[in-house]
Chains A and B, each alone.
Chain A
Amino acid sequence: MHEAMHEAAHALGPLAVHHVGYLWLIPFFPLAGSFINLTLGWRWERSGMKRNVHVVAVGAMLLSLAVAVYAFFQMRALDPEHRFLQDTLWNAFTSGRLSVDFGFALDPLSMMMVLIITFIGSLIHVFSIGYMWDDEAKAYWRFFMWLNLFVFSMLLLVMGDNFALMFFGWEGVGLCSYGLIAYYYTDREKAAAGMKAFVVNRFGDFGFVIGLLLLFWGLGGAWALPGDGGRARYEPTPGVNATAPAANMDEALAVTPTVEVGHGQLVKIGPTLNFRELRDQVVIEKTGIAEHLKNQKVWGVALLALVGIFMFVGAMGKSAQLPLYVWLPDAMAGPTPVSALIHAATMVTAGVYMVARLNFIYALSPSAMGWVALIGALTAIFAASIGFFQYDIKKVLAYSTVSQLGFMFIGVGVGVYWAGAYHLLTHAFFKACLFLGSGSVILGCHHEQDMRKMGGLKEYMPITRWTYLIACVAIAGFPIANGFYSKDEILWKAFTSQHLALFGVPTPWLGPAIYLAGIIAATGTSFYMFRSYFMTFTGKYRGGEGHQHEHGEDPHASVAAPHHADPHGHHDAHPEPNHVTGHVHEAHGKVLHLGHDAHGDHGHDAHAANDNAAHGDHGHGAHGGHGHTPHESPWTITLVLSTLAVGSILTCFLGLPALWTGAPPALEHWLEPTLPAEVSFAHAPHWMEWLFQGLGVAAGAVGLVFAWALYKDGRSTVPARIKERFLSAWTVVYNKYYVDELYDRIVIQPSLAWGRLMSWLDGHLIDWLVNFAGTATRFFANIDGAIDKYVVDGAVNLLANATIEGGRSMRRIQTGRIQTYLYGALAGGLAVILLNFLIH
């Protein structure tokens, strides 16, 4: 089955483009909605017309969804080979070989993404109506403004037909996630969490740009010519990297070199940022570009490996992989819908989308693929382990997200791109359902996020409970929900992968190793997810009892005294021990306390994220009073939860394995035109496949059983005893392996020290220079002044005085006596006569 697809890839020609004119509407509606809310929203909120805000926002989302569905149907009507909708708006700029259009393209992969974004985005917008209506921040409009803007950026990301536009969206989602995480910006912790997300993302973006630049150069240049001793020198390949000056795209098109690939079709070769052009020239062997790329080395390292790894660094930042995952748990400081939308369904999947989009590049470099898969596997198991012991429900889900993203990257890393994308889709459904369910729980428990204070909620919140349960089943990987199908496919392909390498060395053992890590992570996933379910929904409701019992549980409680004495019982969360900083909430001595305060206190998260809302009003249906009784959430919330749960089940059918149906899964078939990469997998007998499917289910079952035993109804004391016995290990895991503290030591403190050094330099050196310049100027000015006063003025005064003295002496001629005048006149006259006589 797979071989047939690979052979089909050989026969591929350039992508047939179908031009349409309406694709721009899909991102436009959210942008317009965001803009309207930005300009008019605050006025609406102030004047009591608050519902206009969400009408505009949700309306924009629904309009966008409608256009997306229309595009989907149009695409379905086309041939599978010709499913490429293109809508170029204008040419942003053209400079040599670099030509960037503002254009949108929809192929099956981005179509899937667009549908996910608009559909789940719309659901989350509806959810937000109920969730944020009585939010304390009184900035309903701002929330929806950011939310719409985020959807716009994400749509740009997936719909952009070139790297530039994708990067525009990439950065845009980073910005919007900052705006949303730091939504309660008046709280310094939350603002810091937002900053942390943004800064860590920037690290990733840097890698992304480097990868992009390397690819661009690689297409048209060589760093070290083979046989040249490896001396690094950039030499553009003349034929390929023609850079005749071009003023606009038409001229650029005219001068680009092209290769004829049969049927009179021309394929542009050379550096480009456009995905379609890139895909054409790399996939079609006749252009020779693929060989050209494979042979290039940068300082001895294969160029494609570097490209893949650097771009994956971008994915690491955006999709929270090791080691740049640290922002995602802190991002739980934002409102829950934000966590659902951004950190479950959309933004974090941008990295997966990017790798899937560039599948043909990655497929050419087994090292890059191995690297991606390895990191994904490590992340999966690492994050799962941290999730075991978290008490905040949102943190559990956050680590679960990181872990599941690891799975997705395992998928795209080993080469089963469609499965990675499928896991993206299933994860969008069940993780959104889980997050929104946790939001419903938090809302119902009056903004309580600590699971130790929950319990027995199944009586109070049945809908939430059932939808949450279905989502847990999905994530654990039982065949009745969609998680099983995607995860199983990924792990199976990981096990049978043959295409992986590390540092240029083929590593056939890496596949099975990744499988092992994946299965362990799956077991862990199932365990902690059901742990969270049991702790939250079963047993007796523990909320509103104060926190005295917590002191007994947590031996580190005695180290740090409770920080807040808050009259409201909920707020007086037990401060978590934080060895590094030694304080809990008010350590604002450092400017950037990434990870310290925002994340070090899990207990504080109980009042961190959503506690700004007044205790009085919660949820849309104003249940009134400060009662400790949890309640079900309003219909806007439960409807969304139900939809997502049903979706989680129904989307099974997109990915039914070929083993069962004998035909390629629907989604694989759908995505086939966009994934021409040739990756080889080992051919295994069918019974092995059945066995591994069973292993997957067993892993989920094992996790469920342990969770049942330990946490059902909260009766068991085993967790407490295990914790006592392995307290040090428990503490390490509980404190997220002290990764944040490590980053603080390695990155933040040196940065701050550097900043202080620069400041010192500025104050002492530069200011000294400036002051010296001032002093020197003053000195010269004094000299000049002296010169002016004594020399110049002296000369002038000398002239004046000489004139005065001359006049004074001349004045004596005027004696006033006639005789003198007469004498003078006579003397003059006689002198003339005498002269006349003598000279004559």
Chain B
Amino acid sequence: MKGKIGLWLFLAALVVGFVALLASRVGPATLPADQAVGPFTLRDLLFYAVASLAMVGTAFVALSRNIVYSALGLLFALLGTGALYVFLSADFLAVTQLLVYIGGVLVLILFAVMLTSRITDVNVSNTSMGVAGGAALFFATAPVLVFVALATPWAARSSPGLAPTTREIGDAFLTGWLLPFELASLVLLATLIGAVVIARKELKPDEEPTP
């Protein structure tokens, strides 16, 4: 370890120097997102980076044989999606995505994966439909949707502003969206109880409860 400290210090200095260089290069102030970098703005590049991350994660989820890889891929997909929410001025939503989706659902999925991965073997992770079926499905749906997305003349605003949304969402929940809000809480309650009920293992006399 003693010998490696120097390596670690070196790597750290490298990274700091690179970032300082970058920072000095780009300028002293904050970088505006709209600053052009070639034909793209920074904003665009960032978007593509995040989107690629999400796509890679999605690919892992869909195509990986290993279920754990799929779970991690899901993590990145969710992460990327969350980052994209920021682009869309949904800051609260992005954080909620992180907290609930990744922190709750994904963890739950990971738990399930870990709990059941022992008895799964590689075979089970294989896709059931085969490459052909999967490809057919993907290429049946994606082009249609993409085409719709691209061809439809959306009535889009050119560059809407970014603004915090938390206060508005809070207001919305307690005024216009009150009923769904309450119903959602009921759903959650039901889900809680239901999940417990469903997942509870019926103990038969000669069986021990599984861990």
A touches B (Cβ under 8 A): yes
A→B interface (CB under 8 Å) = 817, 819, 823, 826-827, 830, 833-834, 837
| Residues B128 and A827 in contact, CB atoms below 8 Å apart | no
| Residues B129 and A826 in contact, CB atoms below 8 Å apart | no
| Residues A826 and B137 in contact, CB atoms below 8 Å apart | yes
| Residues A819 and B144 in contact, CB atoms below 8 Å apart | no
| Residues B144 and A830 in contact, CB atoms below 8 Å apart | yes
In the complex, whether B140 has a CB less than 8 A from a CB of chain A is: yes
Contacts of B128 in A (CB 8 A): 817, 819
B74 → chain A closest CB, angstroms: 18
Q: Which of A819, A830, A837 contacts B140 (CB 8 A)?
A: A830
| Residues A823 and B133 in contact, CB atoms below 8 Å apart | yes
Within 8 A of A (CB), among B134-167: 137, 140-141, 144
Contacts of A817 in B (CB 8 A): 128
The number of chain B residues touching the other chain, given as a range, is: under 10
Contacts of B144 in A (CB 8 A): 830, 833-834, 837
Judged by DSSP, the binding face of B is helix
Closest B residue by C-beta to A817: B128
| Residues A823 and B141 in contact, CB atoms below 8 Å apart | no
Judged by DSSP, the binding face of A is helix
Closest B residue by C-beta to A834: B144
A239 to B140, CA, bound (A): 112
The 6 A-B residue pairs whose C-beta atoms are closest, nearest first, are A830-B140, A819-B128, A830-B141, A833-B144, A830-B144, A823-B137
B104 → chain A closest CB, angstroms: 24
A163 to B65, CA, bound (A): 125
A197 → chain B closest CB, angstroms: 111
A832 → chain B closest CB, angstroms: 11
Contacts of A837 in B (CB 8 A): 144
List 7 A–B pairs whose Cβ atoms lie within 8 Å, in order of A's numbering: A817-B128, A819-B128, A819-B129, A823-B137, A826-B137, A827-B137, A834-B140
| Residues A826 and B141 in contact, CB atoms below 8 Å apart | yes
A583 to B113, CA, bound (A): 126
Contacts of A823 in B (CB 8 A): 129, 133, 137
B62 → chain A closest CB, angstroms: 14
Contacts of B129 in A (CB 8 A): 819, 823
A645 → chain B closest CB, angstroms: 134
A827 to B140, CA, bound (A): 8
A822 → chain B closest CB, angstroms: 10
Closest A residue by C-beta to B140: A830
Question: What per-residue 1/0 map shows which CB atoms of B114-146 lie under 8 Å from chain A?
Answer: 000000000000001100010001001100100
A826 → chain B closest CB, angstroms: 7
Contacts of B133 in A (CB 8 A): 823
Closest A residue by C-beta to B144: A833
Closest B residue by C-beta to A822: B137
A833 to B129, CA, bound (A): 23
Within 8 A of A (CB), among B75-97: none
B125 → chain A closest CB, angstroms: 14
A417 to B185, CA, bound (A): 144
Contacts of A834 in B (CB 8 A): 140, 144
Contacts of B140 in A (CB 8 A): 826-827, 830, 834
Closest B residue by C-beta to A830: B140
A833 to B140, CA, bound (A): 11
Apart from A819-B128, A830-B140, A830-B144, what are 6 other A-B pairs with CB-CB below 8 Å? A817-B128, A823-B129, A826-B141, A827-B137, A833-B144, A834-B140
